Structure 1
Amino acid sequence: MEISKVFNNNVAVVLENNEEKIVMGREICFKKKIGDTIEPETIDKDFYLHNQEVLSRFKELVVDIPLEYLEIGEEIMDEARLSLGKALNDNIYISMVNHIYTAVVRAKDDILVKNALLWDIQKFYKEEYLIVKKALVIIEKKTGVLLPNDEAGFIALHIVNGQLDEDVHDMYEITKIMQEIENIVRYRFKIEFNEESAYYYRFITHLKFFAQRLVEYKKTKQARRCFFESNT
Structure 2
Amino acid sequence: MIIERVLNNNTVISSNGKGLDILLMGKGIAFGKKKGSKVEMEQVEKTFILQDKNNQNKFTELLINVPMEYVLVSEKIINFGKIKLGRALNEIIYINLTDHIYSTIERYQEGIRLKNPLLWDIARFYPDEYAVGEKALAIIKSELNVELEIDEAAFIALHFINASDSKTNDYAYEVTSITKKIDEIVKEHYNTEFDESSLDYYRFITHVKFFAQRLLAHEHYDDEDDDLLETLKHKYENEYVCSLKIKESILMDYQYELSATELVYLTAHIRRITKNLN
Task: Name the TM-score, length of structure 2 as normaliser.
Answer: 0.60
**Could you tell me which residue of structure 2 aligns to residue 112 of structure 1?**
113
Q: Does 1:101 align with 2:102?
A: yes
CA 1:144–1:51 in structure 2 vs 1: closer, same or farther (change >3 Å)?
Answer: same
**Could you tell me which residue of structure 1 aligns to residue 273 of structure 2?**
none
Q: Quick one: which amino acid aligns to residue 17 of structure 1?
A: G
Q: Quick one: which amino acid aligns to residue 151 of structure 2?
A: D
Aligned equivalents of 2:138, 2:80: Cα separation in 1: 12
**Could you tell me which residue of structure 2 aligns to residue 79 of structure 1?**
80
**Could you tell me which residue of structure 1 aligns to residue 175 of structure 2?**
219
Aligned equivalents of 2:170, 2:113: Cα separation in 1: 32
**Could you tell me which residue of structure 2 aligns to residue 160 of structure 1?**
161
Return the offset for 1:63: 2.0
Matches within 5 A, 1:73-222: 73-164=74-165, 209=168, 212-214=169-171, 216-222=172-178
Aligned equivalents of 1:225, 1:109: Cα separation in 2: 33
Return the offset for 1:94: 0.9
Q: Does 1:35 align with 2:26?
A: no
Q: What SS does structure 2 have at the residue aligned with 1:113? A: coil
| Partner deviation per Cα, 1:67-100 (whole Å, 9 max, x = no partner) | 1111111111111122222222221111111111
Q: Quick one: which amino acid aligns to residue 71 of structure 1?
A: L
| Partner deviation per Cα, 1:167-205 (whole Å, 9 max, x = no partner) | xxxxxxxxxxxxxxxxxxxxxxxxxxxxxxxxxxxxxxx
| Partner deviation per Cα, 1:1-52 (whole Å, 9 max, x = no partner) | 2222221111112222233221111111111222222233211111211222
Unaligned segments of structure 1, at least 5 residues? 166-207, 227-232
Task: Name the TM-score, length of structure 1 as normaliser.
Answer: 0.71
Q: What SS does structure 2 have at the residue aligned with 1:3? A: coil
Q: Is the 8 A contact 1:108 1:145 kept in 2?
A: no
After the TM superposition, which of the residue ranges 136-145 and 147-156 deviates more from structure 2?
136-145
Unaligned segments of structure 2, at least 5 residues? 183-278
Aligned equivalents of 2:81, 2:161: Cα separation in 1: 10
Aligned equivalents of 1:80, 1:61: Cα separation in 2: 22
Q: What SS does structure 2 have at the residue aligned with 1:163? A: coil
| Partner deviation per Cα, 1:111-164 (whole Å, 9 max, x = no partner) | 111101110111121111111211112111222211111111001101111114
After the TM superposition, which of the residue ranges 64-73 and 32-41 deviates more from structure 2?
32-41
**Could you tell me which residue of structure 1 aligns to residue 17 of structure 2?**
17
Q: Quick one: which amino acid aligns to residue 72 of structure 2?
A: E
Q: Is the 8 A contact 1:80 1:159 kept in 2?
A: yes
Q: Does 1:69 align with 2:70?
A: yes
**Could you tell me which residue of structure 2 aligns to residue 172 of structure 1?**
none
Q: Quick one: which amino acid aligns to residue 99 of structure 1?
A: H
Q: Is the 8 A contact 1:2 1:16 kept in 2?
A: no
After the TM superposition, which of the residue ranges 7-16 and 150-159 deviates more from structure 2?
7-16
CA 1:89–1:108 in structure 2 vs 1: closer, same or farther (change >3 Å)?
Answer: same
Aligned equivalents of 1:125, 1:218: Cα separation in 2: 23
**Could you tell me which residue of structure 1 aligns to residue 58 of structure 2?**
57
**Could you tell me which residue of structure 2 aligns to residue 229 of structure 1?**
none
CA 1:222–1:159 in structure 2 vs 1: closer, same or farther (change >3 Å)?
Answer: closer
CA 1:124–1:33 in structure 2 vs 1: closer, same or farther (change >3 Å)?
Answer: same
